[in-house]
A and B are shown apart, each in its own frame.
Chain A
Amino acid sequence: MTPHKTTNGQDPNESANRRSAEPLLPILEAPSTRRTVLKTVGAALGLAAFGEALSPLMVVPENMSIDEFLQQHYKELSDDDKQRIFSRLEAETKERFGAEVKIVDPKPIPGVRFGYAINVSKCNGNGKCMEACNRENNHHRGVDQSYIRVLEMSKGSMDMEHGSTTFDHTVPQDDKFYMPVQCQQCDNPPCVSACPIEATWKEDDGIVVVDYNWCIGCRYCEAACPYHARRFNWEPPEIPAGEVNPNQGYLSNRIRPQGAMEKCHFCLHRTREGRAPACQEACPTGARVFGDLNDPDSDINYVLKNKRVFVLKEELGTKPSFFYYFDS
């Protein structure tokens, strides 16, 4: 290798020696000129101002334990981890909402795949399903919403552009029909593909769930969903103690933290134990049919075999497990 020359032709070793004598951080040993003093003062003031600007963040460590911060993804938790987390969440719910709750984590029933169908001829837009969803699933009362949107559609058109979800007149109107929309539990769910961190996934019984403690709240899934099925927690949830539903599932209706996504989970804390989803139980018209798609004798399979069935936005290839049909 040829000896390296610096621009002014110095011997490289000499310059290397000089360099090694030079301190690693030259400014520390530089004479303290007026400019360095001013800069130091400026930097100190800047840092202080930065700390002050970020001071609202101080509430975050107050509200969050180290365990919560370091909590792993649901699928990496052992049974012991889960028990510890559930107890922590129960204690936090007691502290913040004043309610005694029990958090459980029912597993999918082997061999079962849930499907849901709505009889558009029967639904009259009364909205009982939305109310039941709101109570059952511990929705934040501030926004008073549910996982269901009931579309009031104009007869003679299936175009949602002519539909409305904000109607507040008596129902049913003669020239309208009603179409509730909630998570379609797609077999090819765009929300699951979108999530950058696998915080949402499809369970073996077909239900798409969210790990509310893993979600970072980027809302890409909300942009990806063609059915407007996902909701974001824009603010800390508030529910009066007396209205908190104490029977809670970890992946379903437990009170969701601020800043995370949530969605319809077919009331898995009920349906995996053989009960009906809250919206079906509440429906006074009998428009809702829920059951096991793998059971040939189920009600849902009767509908699929005998009725004129359609799914929403079939052209998108999402393969919903949620169906609509007409009686006549």
Chain B
Amino acid sequence: MANSRTDAVRSYPGFLWWGLGQATNGGLSFYVWMFVLTAISLVGANAWAHQVAEGMILTNMTDHVSWGLYIANFTFCVGLAAGGVMMVIPAYLYDDEDMHKVVIIGEAVAIAAIVMCTLSVMVDLGRPDRFWHLIPVIGRVNWPVSMLTWDVIVLNGYLLINLHIVGYLLYMRYLGRKPNPRWYVPFVFLSILWAISIHTVTAFLYCGLGGRPFWNTALLAPRFLASAFVSGPAFIILVMRILRITTGYSAPPGPARTLIQIIRVSMTINLIMLASELFTLFYTGGAHSASAKYLFFGSHGHFGLVPWIWTAIVCNLVGTALFFMPNALERGSIRIVACVLCIVGIWIEKGMGLIIPGFIPSTLHEIVEYTPSLVEWKVTAGIWAFGFLLLTVLLKLIATVFASEKSGTALERVSE
């Protein structure tokens, strides 16, 4: 027994290599998909390389608006990663059998989203060559005071936890062994708390800044969580639909229904909090509402974000209304449209609609507008493409392991 265990541990790299081989098998459309994603990733990598060599001047950020599309996208991706926990909670806390079968999809989405977060922060650094200064022990981290240090720690911790859970469960299935709950259930519960912490800490990053009244609100962290519990599940519903079309794997209908119920509640809470935020800002007025005024109605002849935020409001309201239609609980196009609308709405509301107005007007009340440059769009598209690439490989790996389990262990298929 001890022998076979050491043997199993030793061949984990072998399992990963086998998995990579399996996950890169597919038909023509699969290769086209992977080729396109690789191409977009490379365009992004190239744009980033130019940005490092020639300076952040290639972005449209300024000393007035010193964070832009990268950090906006980062904020959304943290939400996506945290949102995956909405499959874990029903599966493990409420022992939802059907959810248990598909919960690994949520964990895969979380892994890909966290990698996208890390990349979004990396590309925002003026000196990525000094990245090692952030690593505890060899660098010099400002812990526990700096919220950014906390964020780096919790994001990497969340990545490790999810890699462990997904890796362990898949490896056990590959070996044809029953996973030992002692090796993963504690980590699953840890990941639930951790998912909430990553988004709370990310909100604290902004709302802890007294000099930015638009962010300096206690509602920010709850709003982040509520919107994450919409965008995460909505994204997962889309992924499950794509899996059904491309692999023919049909998940039981229960999990998607549960997710839609979660979205209904979360989105309602999110909209109530947004409304109460807007009431406080606009009814009170004064300097605190300057950013909101710029965001929603424009200010002193500047209207850069007005189309963005109204697009988001419309997407969110229509998406929410669609989610509340009884048909949304059935398979069909309504829930897909609703998911897309809510994802787009939240991406704007939490990204461009939250990060940028924090800087407009500036702390000395100057108004300098910001629109992302082509380099920023390329880099962001590259990060998304890489995220999809990673997610595709993870899902293929999962699907292969699950499929091979039905027809004998994966191991035997390989050694035959």
B146 touches A163 (CB 8 A): no
Interface with B: A5-13, A77-85, A108-116, A286-294, which one? A5-13
Least distance between A187 CB and chain B CB atoms (Å): 15
Give chain A residues whose Cβ lies under 8 Å from the Cβ of B11: 19, 22, 24
B46 touches A217 (CB 8 A): no
> A271-296 interface mask toward B, CB cutoff 8 Å, 1 = contact, 0 = none?
00000000000000000000000000
B321 located at the interface, meaning its Cβ lies under 8 Å from any Cβ of chain A in the complex: no
Least distance between A49 CB and chain B CB atoms (Å): 5
Question: Across the two chains, which residue of chain B brings its CB closest to A261?
Answer: B126
Q: A259 with B142: in contact, given A53-B45, A161-B361 (CB under 8 Å)?
A: no
Give chain A residues whose Cβ lies under 8 Å from the Cβ of B53: 56-57, 59-60
Give chain B residues whose Cβ lies under 8 Å from the Cβ of A233: 55, 126
**CA A236 – CA B53 in complex, angstroms?**
9
Which residues of A in the span 200-219 have a Cβ within 8 Å of any Cβ on B?
A: 214-219
A170 located at the interface, meaning its Cβ lies under 8 Å from any Cβ of chain B in the complex: no
> A155-169 interface mask toward B, CB cutoff 8 Å, 1 = contact, 0 = none?
000011101111000
A214 touches B130 (CB 8 A): yes
A55 located at the interface, meaning its Cβ lies under 8 Å from any Cβ of chain B in the complex: yes
Q: A260 with B126: in contact, given A3-B1, A7-B408, A223-B67 (CB under 8 Å)?
A: yes
> B404-416 interface mask toward A, CB cutoff 8 Å, 1 = contact, 0 = none?
0100110110110
A194 touches B146 (CB 8 A): yes
Give chain B residues whose Cβ lies under 8 Å from the Cβ of A27: 17-18, 21
A224 touches B129 (CB 8 A): no
Pick from A6, A226, A257: contact of B210, CB below 8 A.
A226
Give chain B residues whose Cβ lies under 8 Å from the Cβ of A219: 66-67, 124, 126
A232 located at the interface, meaning its Cβ lies under 8 Å from any Cβ of chain B in the complex: yes
Task: Tally A residues with Cβ within 8 Å of B.
Answer: 84
| Shortest 3 CB-CB contacts between residues of A and residues of B | A217-B126, A226-B211, A259-B126
Measured CB to CB, the residues of A under 8 A from B are: 1, 3-4, 6-8, 12-13, 15-16, 18-20, 22-27, 35, 39, 46, 49-50, 52-57, 59-60, 64, 69, 73, 76, 149, 151, 159-161, 163-166, 181, 190, 193-199, 214-220, 222-228, 230-236, 257-261, 313, 316-318
Measured CB to CB, the residues of B under 8 A from A are: 1, 3-4, 7-8, 10-11, 13-14, 17-18, 21, 24-25, 38, 42-43, 45-46, 49-50, 52-57, 61-64, 66-67, 121, 124-131, 133-134, 139-142, 145-149, 152, 175-177, 205, 209-212, 287, 290, 358-359, 361-366, 405, 408-409, 411-412, 414-415
